[in-house]
Amino acid sequence: MMTEETFKLNNDVEIPVMGLGTFQMTPDQAQNATLDALKDGYRLIDTANGYMNEKAVGRAIKESGLTREKIFISSKLWPTVYEDENAIDDTLKRLDIDYIDLLFLHQPAGNWKEGYRQIEKAYKEGKVRAIGISNFEGATLDELLDFAEIKPQVIQTEAHPYYTAQKIMATLKPYGTRLMAWYPLGHGDSSLLKQPIFTQLAEKYNKSNVQIILRWHIQAGHIVIPGSTNPSHIKSNLDIFDFKLTDEEMTEIAKLDTETRYYNPTPSLVAGYANMRMDFNSQK
């Protein structure tokens, strides 16, 4: 099973529409899941400084035997290293690669302007192929867009049928920024997964409810990165390219959007990230 389907970013870089997310995975889990995903045909792997599994993802990439240019790797700088001029080089070393396909600011905390400048510099130097922001919204997003010399190619944010980040994406539309969805399945909320529309469509297309939701994401223009350590789930999540939802079905699913979120980025929570220090180079 394999897909070569991609979206074109606003700088003409091609990104796979589907990837593996490694949030909350231990190093062993991330290494095994990444290797399973690459064997199944995934070509996008998403990690982060803060996930503490970059080294493991790098090992799996080497073990896969795939050439570097066949794999799209995204990672994220954590707020405590935004002012560290070695942060991007350290990230490259942990992943054991020469360039990162997509590098995000992980949170709108700390000195994020300095962090963004560092990514822009790395972009100009060829160490980063695309620039991302994660969890930015509202006034902070407006401020970043005014500040940025190079507008972001991707925003990573919570998105699922209950919440499609319409306000955020309306702000970013003039720049052609793509949405990469985390919590694409609503953090596993059974009330979302078992919505009658998904059950009906799963029966119609001989797919699972999860596969219907993932297919919806891609047709909505989202890059999607479901995370799983289960080899069968990893494989089945990718099996969504042999059918297409109709315009009418997409319209019905759109009715589920109630702007219901599972992550509440309160100011105090976001501010706390700037003090959440970790030794990223101590990863196993």
Q: Which residues contact 31 (CB under 8 A, 6 or more apart)?
A: 53, 56, 57, 59, 60, 63
123 is catalytic: no
Closest Cα partner for 133 from 83, 87, 73, 178? 178
Cβ contact 79:50 at 8 Å: no
What values do phi and psi take at 207, rounded to 5?
A: -130, 175
Cβ contact 118:82 at 8 Å: yes
Q: Where are the beta strands (DSSP E) in 175-222?
A: 178-182
As a residue count, the chain comes to 284
What values do phi and psi take at 34, rounded to 5?
A: -60, -45
Q: What distance in Å separates the CA atoms of residue 243 and residue 246, rounded to the nearest whole number?
A: 10
Structure tokens at 75: 């990672």
In a 10 Å sphere around its CB, with 0-12 CB exposed, 13-18 middle and 19+ buried, how is residue 190 labelled?
exposed
Find tokens 């889990």 and name the residue. 29
Select which of 51, 116, 123, 183 is catalytic: 51
Positions annotated as catalytic residues are 51
